[in-house]
Amino acid sequence: YKQVGEAGKLFILDSINPTRRHEVFFDDNIRYSETKIVDIRDFRDLSVPISVARAINKFLVRAEPLESITNKDYFWEKLKLCEESARRTRRTRTLMRNTLVRCKTAVKVFRAIRNTPMSPTKYVPWRKLPAVQALSSVETFDDDSENIETMRRMK
pLDDT 10s digits, 13-24: 887 766 677 888
Region for residue 69 given its phi and psi (left: phi exceeds 0; alpha: psi -120 to 50; beta: otherwise): alpha
Q: Which pLDDT does position 154 carry in this prediction? A: 63
What is the amino acid identity at position 145? Answer: S
Q: Provide the β-strand partners of residue 145.
A: none
Q: Which pLDDT does position 50 carry in this prediction? A: 83
Q: Provide the pairing of β-strand 60-62 with 45-49.
A: unpaired
Q: H-helix or E-strand containing 47?
A: strand 45-49
Q: Which pLDDT does position 69 carry in this prediction? A: 92
Average pLDDT along the chain, 155 residues, taken 10 residues at a time: 64 74 83 77 84 85 90 94 88 88 82 68 74 65 55 62
Q: Which pLDDT does position 71 carry in this prediction? A: 93
Q: Which pLDDT does position 153 carry in this prediction? A: 66
Whether the CB-CB separation of 53 and 89 falls below 8 Å is answered with no
Q: Which pLDDT does position 79 carry in this prediction? A: 92
Q: Is the pTM of this model over 0.85?
A: no
Rounded to whole angstroms, what are the CA distances from 49 to 4, 23, 35, 52?
12, 16, 10, 9
Q: What is the dihedral of CA 129, 131, 137, 142, to 10 degrees?
A: -20
Q: Which pLDDT does position 74 carry in this prediction? A: 93
Closest by CA position to 28, among listed 80, 68, 58, 55 = 68
Adjacency order of strands within the sheet including 45-49:
9-13, 38-42, 45-49
Q: Which pLDDT does position 32 carry in this prediction? A: 75
